[in-house]
Amino acid sequence: MGVAGSPASAVSSKRFLFLFSDTGGGHRASAQAVKDEMARLYGDAAVVEMVDIFVEMRRWPFDRFPELYPVAVGLNGIPWHVGYHLSDTMPMVRLLSGAVWPYVGPSLCRLLEQHPSDVMVSFHGVPNAALLFARRKMMLRNPFAIVTLDLVSVHAGWFTPGAHLYIVPTEAARQRALRAGVTAKRIRVIGMPTRRSFVEIRDMTQTEARDRLGLPQDRPIVLMIGGGEGMGPLVPVVREIAGCRPDAHLVVIAGRNQALYNALRALDVPVPLRVEGFVTNIAVWMRAADVLVTKAGPNTLAEAFIVGLPLVLYAAIPGQEEGNILHVVENHAGVWTPRPRAAADAVMDLLAHPAQRSAMAACSQALARPYATEEIARHLWDLRR
Ligand code: UDP
């Protein structure tokens, strides 16, 4: 493999341990994006191992987190909301992590022993305090970085002091880190990691993207996504939008949610509707679209900013995604429409007013950080013992 970053060709390889979990689609997508970028920049010199920390710890119920997460989050679910806010202080993070430590500590230490690394990176907010306990117990001295994956309302768990580097996507996130007690010199405001395909897609025209996907050229495309797990009331949203009979082609990406996929395929609506399951070429789908109706997931938003899509936010996970709504709305990149009827009205409005749509698209693009992944990869590479 070619080495794009010249310094790497002269130095020996480095092992990176990327800790993530499949709780939602975003942690894996982000870790994979940085891994791919390290391969592009440093070739075989960067040896990156990706580990689902909860699954590999093999401690119930943590090892079931990927399956339980979509159920536990249950959009607008009060228990998640309350739990999120109650635990969102540093004393609570330490207390809870300390409480589970006797149970998970040995497994976590075993996991770190089995995956030795020169640089350890966390792409998850939950395990960081426990990881810091484990590092102290094992006297690990290798650099530890945390790549934060929420835009604004970042949970305190991401900012447990003690890591060498905290990479955050926005100034609002930096302020949260400072309030949590992280030293200013350890924080870098860079952006969300997104896949390289979102940089490359800027060379593709909308016409080409539609050709590639077999989508029509003669009408606007309204794309709908509920994150990796197809969360939120997408069926009523689709029904409401279709019921308005827009002169548009609707596309829904159901992600890994098979029940949603089946329900959408069974819908009888008066406008053209394409339903997809989990796709690996989201960048092309976004490039083909004129409007994105989405859950306020941080990764999907960061991707949509790069493509410059006007946004209709139909749902947000309580707690961690609430700040994303403000980020989008205050920057005029989109609207917040938590009811299906309001989402349909917003879509109809944008379809009827191309100038308004273009202005919103420009505001969305103004929030883009297309080269964040490259910068993150370079910062991680530069971490030394
Ligand atoms: N995604 C994907 N294929 C799909 C659906 C989603 O690659 O079919 C990706 C999407 O591009 C984004 C991530 O999954 O990178 C979703 O992350 P987000 O933070 O928006 O929501 P989450 O799924 O983590 O709740």
CATH of the domain at 265: 3.40.50.2000
- The answer to the question of residue 81 being in a domain is yes
How far is CA 289 from each of CA 62, 301, 311, 357, 365, rounded to the nearest angstrom?
38, 14, 11, 12, 14
- The answer to the question of residue 1 being in a domain is no
- The answer to the question of residue 87 being in a domain is yes
Q: Which two tokens stand for residue 340?
A: 């299906």
**Before 66, cis peptide (omega within 30)?**
no
Q: Are residues 188 and 202 in the same domain?
A: no
- Nearest atom in ligand 1 to 278's CA: 8
Q: Which of 34-43, 60-69, 230-239, 332-341 has the lowest mean pLDDT?
A: 60-69
User: What's the pLDDT tens digit per position in 85-97?
Assistant: 889 999 999 999 9
- The answer to the question of residue 314 being in a domain is yes
What SS3 class is residue 295? strand
Bridge partners (DSSP) of residue 163 are 161
More confident residue, 148 or 62: 148
Give residue 269's pLDDT.
96
The domain of 146 spans: 8-193+370-382
- The answer to the question of residue 233 being in a domain is yes
Q: Is 371 exposed, middle or buried (0-12, 13-18, 19+ CB in 10 A)?
A: middle
Q: Which two tokens stand for residue 361?
A: 């698209």
For residue 54, pLDDT beyond 70: yes
Q: Are residues 222 and 110 in the same domain?
A: no
Q: Are residues 155 and 292 in the same domain?
A: no
Q: Are residues 101 and 142 in the same domain?
A: yes
The best mutation among 279, 282, 303, 324 to test binding of ligand 1, ranked by most ligand atoms within 8 Å of the C-beta, falls on 282
User: What's the pLDDT tens digit per position in 209-237?
Assistant: 999 999 999 999 999 999 998 999 999 99
User: What's the pLDDT tens digit per position in 183-192?
Assistant: 999 999 999 9
pLDDT confidence tier of residue 8, bands split at 50, 70 and 90: very low
User: What secondary structure does DSSP assign to 94-136, as a single string?
Assistant: HHHHHHHHHHHHHHHHHHHHHS--SEEEE--SSSHHHHHHHHH
* Strand runs labelled E in 45-189: 46-52, 119-122, 144-147, 165-168, 187-189
- Single-letter code of the amino acid located at 159: F
| 304 Cα: distance to centroid of ligand 1 (angstroms) | 11
Q: Are residues 147 and 271 in the same domain?
A: no
Q: Give me the number of domains the chain comprises.
A: 2
Q: Are residues 179 and 203 in the same domain?
A: no
Q: Are residues 138 and 173 in the same domain?
A: yes
Among 96, 104, 114, 136, CA closest to 51: 114
- Nearest atom in ligand 1 to 256's CA: 8
- The answer to the question of residue 207 being in a domain is yes
- The answer to the question of residue 3 being in a domain is no
- The answer to the question of residue 2 being in a domain is no
Mean pLDDT of the chain: 93
Give residue 329's pLDDT.
98
For residue 75, pLDDT beyond 90: no
User: What's the pLDDT tens digit per position in 340-373?
Assistant: 999 999 999 999 999 999 999 999 999 999 999 9
User: What's the pLDDT tens digit per position in 289-321?
Assistant: 999 999 999 999 999 999 999 999 999 988 889
Q: Is 300 a pocket residue for ligand 1 (Cβ < 6 Å)? A: yes
Q: Are residues 151 and 231 in the same domain?
A: no
* 199-208 own/partner pairs: CB under 8 Å, 24+ apart: 199/306, 199/370, 199/371, 200/283, 201/283, 201/284, 201/286, 201/287, 201/306, 201/307, 202/306, 202/370, 204/284, 204/287, 206/287, 206/288
pLDDT confidence tier of residue 23, bands split at 50, 70 and 90: confident
Closest residue CA from atom 6 of ligand 1: 228
Q: Is 279 a pocket residue for ligand 1 (Cβ < 6 Å)? A: yes
**In the chain, % of residues over pLDDT 70:** 95
* Number of neighbouring beta carbons within 10 Å of residue 348: 17
User: What's the pLDDT tens digit per position in 97-154?
Assistant: 999 999 999 999 999 999 999 999 999 999 999 999 999 999 999 999 999 999 999 9
Q: Are residues 128 and 249 in the same domain?
A: no
As a residue count, the chain comes to: 385
Give residue 62's pLDDT.
80
Q: Are residues 120 and 244 in the same domain?
A: no
Interval 255-274 mean pLDDT = 96
Q: Is 266 exposed, middle or buried (0-12, 13-18, 19+ CB in 10 A)?
A: exposed
Give residue 10's pLDDT.
56
Q: Are residues 86 and 113 in the same domain?
A: yes
Q: Are residues 251 and 220 in the same domain?
A: yes
What SS3 class is residue 253? strand
Q: Is 26 a pocket residue for ligand 1 (Cβ < 6 Å)? A: yes
